[in-house]
Amino acid sequence: MLDREILRTDYGVSYGSVTLKSLQNDNVPELDLLVREAIQNSSDAALMEEGKSYAVNFQSGKFVPARFNSLLYGIEDILNGRYPDQEADYLEIRDTKTSGLTGSIRKAEIKKDDHGNFFKLIFDTGKRQIISNAGGNWGFGKSVYYRVGIGIVIFYSRIKVDESNYENRLIITLVEDESRVDQYGNDCTLLNAIEPLSAGKAWWGIRNGEDLLPLNDDEHINSVLDVFGIKPFKEKETGTSIVIPYIKIKELLDGIIPVEAEIREDVREHFVNNWASSVSSYLRLAIQKWYAPKIHNRELPVFCKNKWLLVSVDNVPISKQDMLPFFRLTQDLYTCALAKSYDHEYTSDEFDNITILPVNIRSYFESGMVSGYVAIARISQTELNGTENVLSPYDYIGKFEADGGLNEPIVMFARDPGMVIDYAITGAWVKNVPPPESPEDFLFAFYVPTTEKRIKSDLGVPEYAGKTLGEYLRDCEASDHMAWIDPVKMQIVQRIQRNTINAIIGHIKKSSIVNVDATASKLSNRLGKNLLPRIGYGKKKPSGGTGGGGGTGTKITNISFQITSQVIRGNEVEMDFILKMMHGKKNAAVSLMIASEAGWIDAKSWKDDIGTEFPVRVTNCFIDTVRTSVSDYPIEIKQNCDSDNVSVEAEEITVAIISENGDDIFTQIQISPHLINPEINGKIRIRAYDKKYQYTFRIE
């Protein structure tokens, strides 16, 4: 039996009830919080160690309660009464290639500015992490260890003392709500019966004067580990094992899908059967959800000092290929953005449609404006998942309410440690970012800051003067690390959010341009080879029925414009098109634009800035048919607009060709259907008067 120390009510005491609530998050499943905290602690403990990776294993198992309870002097009988069965469940989280719980174990040896890993984890509450590039910060996250069970946790660690000596440490802790009562109002704490003034915290180890020290002899430690069938660290291995007995399996699993979640029954059944039928199965999902950027990501050491994560559940590793398709894409988005901040180019082997853009903010940094990079992927469901039988990405990130909706854009963000802070589908990270109009398509983005950027010293906020962006963002996180929130005097996060959105929207708008090269010889060479390259994302579905060869198109949020065939006659190009208007859109404008050194410009800007005649024009727009989702057959229109008949009106549609400069050069087609969500088929003919320019359509 071990010696014990019970914290009593006193001035300035940190109570167990406060510690349990300090994580500031009751909206995320406990197992998610556990995964986030445990791997983050391991990542921090690996920072100063040699090697390109670190390892974490989550191991579930059974133990005999009476054997364990006999170790806990004072509460043994209470535990035996509450847990009379022959077995109970435990969870072990073990990391290796980490430093272990280093630092002083005696109060007299503690340094004021750094209590050390052991003392901070075992005895402190809210003692901040001092390593600037660490994932942890506030010192409250560890409270989750006490929330997934009954409050008892065993901490076992092996550390390197010097070049030839190693030391083992083991201590048992208890944190509980000192005021907890049952449904009848009866006290149900473990400690109050033996210490009425308990503050809800206790420790079991070896008494030595004023100190309660951890066990450090191998024989004694092995006798505790043997209760759980856990092997000790060996030889030159260092790391930490956290053992949580009496885990509340039913409560943990019941808390995964919110009670009020609107989720289809077949989706619920698939999710539960595959990912929420056991603690181990859900851990495999939660690990991917929050640490996809680092799981087996061997690319990281190529361009930076970040380590990749070798993570296992029940000793079965999760490799990149074991990950769900969405989380493989998440990793590649993160790697692309992070690599760019290190002036390195990374190209995904699996996803070839990732765009990386800088996110600039003014006035805050000592040099340059680039705060970081956002990697963007517009991708179809088929491109993402292939033939794998998987659910929507929204289900895997816990946004069940978004499944079956408009496929809201998902914006992710993370610091260097590689834990996803959040998957935002609402709020400041995605405000005004339009969703794809097709239920088959997705828009994903991942922002990664350039953490070594330094904040100016002349901003009038001395507490942040000269700090790195990484340190600043770390300070902007609450104890659960699930958001970045600026302090009152600063707006760095707000500007990052706003300009990340601008970069994403700008990318979408740029992608809605259809290029037309006016040089006849080039047009001839490209005929049949995507003369107007596909704009948008996702592979074009095979056309049904009769239909021509591989068309191309453009997509924006509530309108789709597709070129299905082209014929070139000298300086003229005649194109068959399909225009779809969705989500109640009532008017469409198809405008010609020209490439210039300053970007694409329209006819009005050309006249204002250049002053010469716009070198391309619309000569004809012919509307063939219109149909809607409720019509069995297309409605024939057979109306033509040209210079002699610039506007035509039918019962179903009005079409006009427009001169944006008020002259006789028509550069825009305006289409106003009188039906809801129409599909319009027709032809456009354009003529180029100067072959040295490149032309494009803008669809609005």
Helix (H) or strand (E) holding 295: none
Percent over 70 (pLDDT), the chain: 89
In the predicted model, is pLDDT for residue 348 greater than 80?
Answer: yes
In the predicted model, is pLDDT for residue 566 greater than 80?
Answer: yes
pLDDT at 263: 87
Terminal Cα distance for the chain, rounded: 76
Q: What is the mean pLDDT of the chain?
A: 87
Q: Is 152 exposed, middle or buried (0-12, 13-18, 19+ CB in 10 A)?
A: buried
Query: What distance in Å separates the CA atoms of residue 361 and residue 456, rounded to the nearest whole number?
Result: 13
Percent over 90 (pLDDT), the chain: 64
In the predicted model, is pLDDT for residue 153 greater than 60?
Answer: yes
pLDDT at 109: 86
pLDDT at 531: 28
**Each residue of 634-678: pLDDT tens digit?**
899 999 999 899 999 998 899 999 998 888 899 999 999 988 889
Residue of 591 and 631 predicted with greater confidence? 591
Tell which residue, 630, 216, 313, has the closest CA to residue 322: 313
pLDDT at 16: 94
Query: What distance in Å separates the CA atoms of residue 128 and residue 146, rounded to the nearest whole number?
Result: 19
**Each residue of 195-237: pLDDT tens digit?**
999 999 999 999 999 999 999 999 999 999 999 999 999 999 9
- How sure is the predictor about 533, in pLDDT bands with cuts at 50, 70 and 90? very low
Structure tokens at 124: 């402190």
pLDDT at 140: 66
Q: Where in the chain is the domain with CATH 3.30.565?
A: 3-255
pLDDT at 599: 64
pLDDT at 361: 94
**Each residue of 363-420: pLDDT tens digit?**
899 999 999 999 999 999 999 998 888 999 999 999 998 887 778 999 999 988 899 9
**Each residue of 296-312: pLDDT tens digit?**
999 999 999 999 999 99
**Each residue of 600-623: pLDDT tens digit?**
788 888 887 777 888 899 999 999
Residue of 48 and 297 predicted with greater confidence? 297
In the predicted model, is pLDDT for residue 530 greater than 60?
Answer: no
- How sure is the predictor about 582, in pLDDT bands with cuts at 50, 70 and 90? confident
Amino acid, res. 8 = R
Sheet holding 552-556, edge to edge: 552-556, 559-569, 572-581, 679-688, 616-627, 635-641
In the predicted model, is pLDDT for residue 527 greater than 50?
Answer: no
**Each residue of 157-178: pLDDT tens digit?**
999 999 889 999 999 999 999 9
Buried b (16+ CB within 10 A) or exposed e, 276-296: beebeebbbbbbbbbbbbbbb
**Each residue of 49-100: pLDDT tens digit?**
999 999 999 999 999 999 999 999 999 999 999 999 999 999 999 999 999 9
pLDDT at 259: 85
pLDDT at 534: 28
pLDDT at 612: 83
**Each residue of 301-346: pLDDT tens digit?**
999 999 999 999 999 999 999 999 999 999 999 999 999 999 999 9
Amino acid, res. 507 = H
In the predicted model, is pLDDT for residue 548 greater than 50?
Answer: no
Q: What is the mean pLDDT of residues 489-503?
A: 94
The crossing angle, in degrees rounded to 10, of helices 30-46 and 279-291 is 60
> How many other β-carbons are positioned within 10 Å of the β-carbon of residue 622?
20
DSSP state of 23: T
pLDDT at 257: 94
- How sure is the predictor about 597, in pLDDT bands with cuts at 50, 70 and 90? low
pLDDT at 536: 26
Tell which residue, 191, 192, 186, has the closest CA to residue 204: 191
pLDDT at 87: 97
Which is it for strands 211-213 and 198-208: parallel, antiparallel or unpaired? Answer: antiparallel
In the predicted model, is pLDDT for residue 139 greater than 80?
Answer: no
In the predicted model, is pLDDT for residue 626 greater than 90?
Answer: yes
- Which residues fall within 8 angstroms of residue 24, CB to CB, at 6 or more apart? 140, 478, 479, 480
Architecture of the domain delimited by 3-255? 2-Layer Sandwich (3.30)
DSSP state of 585: -
pLDDT at 655: 95
Q: Is 635 exposed, middle or buried (0-12, 13-18, 19+ CB in 10 A)?
A: middle
Tell me the range of 256-270, 418-432, 522-536, 564-578 where mean pLDDT is highest. Answer: 418-432
Cβ 225 vs Cβ 119: under 8 Å: no
Query: What distance in Å separates the CA atoms of residue 109 and residue 103, rounded to the nearest whole number?
Result: 9
**Each residue of 434-468: pLDDT tens digit?**
888 777 899 999 999 999 999 999 888 899 999 99
**In sequence order, what DSSP letters do the residues of 229-262 get, joined into one string?**
TPPPP-TT--EEEEEEES--HHHHHHTSS-TT--
φ, ψ dihedrals at 617, nearest 5°: -150, 160
Rounded to the nearest 5 degrees, what angle is found at the Cα of 428, between the Cα atoms of 425 and 431? 70
Torsion sign over Cα 36, 42, 47, 50? negative
Residue of 694 and 100 predicted with greater confidence? 100
Cβ 524 vs Cβ 691: under 8 Å: no
pTM (2 d.p.): 0.74
Q: What is the mean pLDDT of residues 571-596?
A: 85
Ranges 223-227, 593-597, 695-699: which has the least confidence: 593-597
Structure tokens at 412: 């992710």
Q: What is the mean pLDDT of residues 179-194?
A: 94
C-alpha distance from residue 325 to each of 53, 322, 386, 433, 538 (Å): 23, 9, 9, 23, 15
Cα radius of gyration rounded to whole Å, the chain? 31
